[in-house]
Chain A
């Protein structure tokens, strides 16, 4: 969603193009860069009848050549870096990268000889979806934000509660 160095469109043009192209038909390629696989289970639930992402026009595809969106979980272990780059490069533009899960967002592991710690270290991430694991509803909202169908709520949230609770 941010213009890549090799793209000439502005961010706004790109956003419009992504909304027009992917708004109703999106192919998602999932990539696990070393997670505990619970995020994968939540992602898999998206295809189940209760959440059913197909009704929104989203599909899973194993081939990066056919994919529009790369859904990345896991803290990007260094052993996976080559495969991650190859997968990203194999996707034709325009493409969107979504990092999901606390591991992928850099909240669990610090960078060390075996792991980068966050997906942003290797791939240019467009949308972050927190959660451990993110529920399928959160994933649906994140995907909707990624294609411009839903508005982001995070900038408006403060995580400040009113009231005193139980005074000590």
Chain B
């Protein structure tokens, strides 16, 4: 018991200061992807939709419909098109409207 107490005192305060201050561990969290519209083509988007194990990605004409609420940050869409997808780094994703979680991303890439 005294050993535990001494060890704790040496370690100092381990509690995070979030939300008052940012937490350094947030940088290593898996986060939903951010897309680069100029790298997206319809074929790439369709491949990503096929790879996504959930219902996060779908296509409406030339818009990628990305449901952040359905995203599990598995990274498969990034593996398919690594130049088009990058981790967004956003983990503060709470929303008061379900529709705010559905993002429309224009597909602007040229067909090759």
CB distance from B70 to the nearest CB of A (A): 2
A137-B18 in contact (CB<8A): yes
Q: In the assembled complex, which residues on chain B have CB atoms less than 8 Å from the CB atom of A110?
A: 55
Once A153-B90, A155-B100, A160-B105 are accepted as A-B contacts, the answer to whether A132 and B73 lie under 8 Å apart by CB is: yes
In the complex, the answer to whether B38 meets A164 with C-beta atoms within 8 Å is yes
CA distance in complex: A134, B71 (Å): 11
Closest residue of B by beta carbon distance from A105: B69
What band does the interface of chain A fall in when counting residues whose beta carbon is under 8 Å from B?
A: 35 or more
- Which among A20-28, A60-68, A82-90, A120-128 touches the partner chain? A120-128
Chain B interface mostly helix, strand, loop or mixed?
Answer: loop
Option from A106, A107, A141, A146 in Cβ contact (under 8 Å) with B19: A141
B29 (CB) vs chain A CBs: closest residue: A135
Q: How far is the CA of A105 from the CA of B83 in the complex (A)?
A: 29
Q: Mark B54-91, 1 if CB is under 8 A from A, else 0.
A: 11100000000011111111100000001110101011
Check A128–B98 contact: CB distance below 8 A.
yes
**CB pair B90 A166 closer than 8 Å:** no
B24 CB to closest chain A CB, in angstroms? 11
Q: What is the CA–CA distance of A108 and B92 in the complex, to the nearest angstrom?
A: 21
Inter-subunit contact A102/B69 (CB<8 Å):
yes
Q: In the complex the two chains form, is B66's CB within 8 Å of A159's CB?
A: yes
Given contacts A155-B100, A161-B36, contact A127 B54 (CB under 8 A): no
Q: CA–CA, A88 to B109, complex, Å?
A: 48
A-contacting residues, B27-71, CB 8 Å: 29, 32-39, 54-56, 66-71
A128→B84 CA distance, assembly (Å): 27
> 30 pairs across A/B with beta carbons < 8 Å?
A51-B16, A102-B71, A105-B98, A105-B101, A106-B69, A107-B55, A107-B71, A107-B72, A127-B96, A130-B71, A131-B73, A132-B72, A135-B26, A137-B16, A137-B25, A138-B91, A140-B19, A141-B92, A142-B94, A152-B96, A152-B100, A154-B101, A159-B88, A159-B105, A160-B36, A160-B37, A160-B105, A161-B88, A165-B84, A165-B86
